[in-house]
Each structure stands twice: as structure tokens, then as C-alpha cells.
């Protein structure tokens, strides 16, 4: 059984996705795929940290499983993805595309290699979940970015050049 943890117990916006897996039924291997967007992985079995380095994109655990809980955290980060043969970039947090809530193309000041100075997450909660919102910083005109799939009836831009 696997479930995504809503991470409601944190007092700040989490920078990882947590998954819990309950392993039953004897001796076998469990291979956990580490996605290419993950900027790091943390793993525990029944609360004990497990040092495991991904090999060929997977972490493999071999043992006699009898109801242990595996908790895996995939580190999230905002990444800039350059369009082929173009000076424009798109952004994502983990695997999810971001879109700027702005009705035209704007050039961003800064470097796509140092996004922490340009794009910052809101630290806002909406009831029991964290809002998937970001804001630009240090720009001539700052604007909000949010998950592309959450946009409805708003004008937005996905690709941005840097100046």
C-alpha cells in the first residue's frame, strides 16, 4: 500500500513529497524509482534512516518484510528548463509545470542557474494544505506563478526570457 502524505503537520511549506509504503509478506526486494526531477532522497524503514544511493535511477531494498513502514521523501526544487534553440525558459517544481499569472511575456532579471533569488514560494496554508503558489522577486514587475494545472479562467505565460 502506498499513499501520498498531505504533510499537514509542518509549520512551513515543505520542500519535499513524502510517500509511505507498508511492506508485508516475506523476503523480497523493493525497488523505488527515484524520479529525475528529485534533487535528493531521504529514506527510513520503521523510523530508522537508511543510507541508500540510487543505482540506474532506483533504490533497492532487500530484506524479510513483515509489516515495516518505508517512508521516502523526494526533495523538490524549482528548475528552469530551456526551450531548444531559444532564449526562453519554462519552470517547474518537481515534475509540475509553473505558469506566471501575467498577460504578456516579460524578461526576468537574474540567472536561470540561481532561481532561489528570482522565484520564491509563498508560505501560505489554505486550511489543511499548502498553497502551490510562488512569486517573483527583484523584478521590475513581480507576479505570481502557480501550478499550470490549477489555472482556470486566468491569463498566463509559461515561457520567459532572461535579460
As a three-state string, the secondary structure of 21-60 is EEECCEEEEEEEECCCCCCCEEEEECCEECCCCCECCEEE
* Measured distance CA(105)–CA(63) in Å, rounded: 53
pLDDT score of 41 more than 50: yes
Confidence grade of residue 10 (pLDDT, cut at 50, 70, 90): low
Confidence grade of residue 145 (pLDDT, cut at 50, 70, 90): very high
* Measured distance CA(163)–CA(160) in Å, rounded: 10
Confidence grade of residue 1 (pLDDT, cut at 50, 70, 90): very low
Contact 121, 134 (CB under 8 A): yes
pLDDT digits (tens, 9 = 90+) for 42-52: 999 999 999 98
Report the mean per-residue pLDDT for the chain. Answer: 88
* Measured distance CA(36)–CA(95) in Å, rounded: 9
For residues 34, 38, 95, 139, the Cα torsion angle rounded to the nearest 10 degrees is: -170
Of 11-20, 77-86, 154-163, the one with minimum mean pLDDT is: 11-20
Of 13-17, 97-101, 112-116, 123-127, the one with minimum mean pLDDT is: 123-127
Query: Cα 18 to chain center, whole Å?
Result: 10
Closest CA to 108 of 124, 87, 83: 87
pTM of the full structure: 0.79
pLDDT score of 72 more than 70: yes
Amino acid at each position: 500500500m502506498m499513499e501520498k502524505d498531505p504533510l499537514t503537520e509542518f509549520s512551513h511549506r515543505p520542500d519535499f513529497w513524502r510517500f509511505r509504503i507498508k511492506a508485508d509478506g516475506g523476503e523480497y526486494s523493493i525497488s523505488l524509482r527515484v524520479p529525475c526531477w528529485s534533487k535528493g532522497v531521504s529514506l527510513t524503514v520503521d523510523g530508522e534512516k537508511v543510507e541508500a544511493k540510487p543505482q540506474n535511477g532506483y533504490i533497492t531494498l532487500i530484506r524479510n518484510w513483515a509489516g515495516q513502514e518505508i517512508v521516502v521523501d523526494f526533495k523538490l526544487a524549482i528548475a528552469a528548463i530551456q526551450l531548444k534553440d531559444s532564449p526562453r525558459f519554462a519552470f517547474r517544481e518537481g515534475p509540475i509545470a509553473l505558469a506566471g499569472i501575467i498577460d504578456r511575456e516579460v524578461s526576468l532579471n537574474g540567472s536561470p542557474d540561481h532561481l532561489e533569488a528570482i522565484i520564491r514560494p509563498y508560505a501560505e496554508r489554505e486550511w489543511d494544505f499548502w498553497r502551490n503558489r510562488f512569486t517573483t522577486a527583484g523584478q521590475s514587475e513581480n507576479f505570481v506563478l502557480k501550478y499550470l494545472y490549477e489555472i482556470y479562467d486566468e491569463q498566463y505565460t509559461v515561457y520567459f526570457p532572461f535579460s
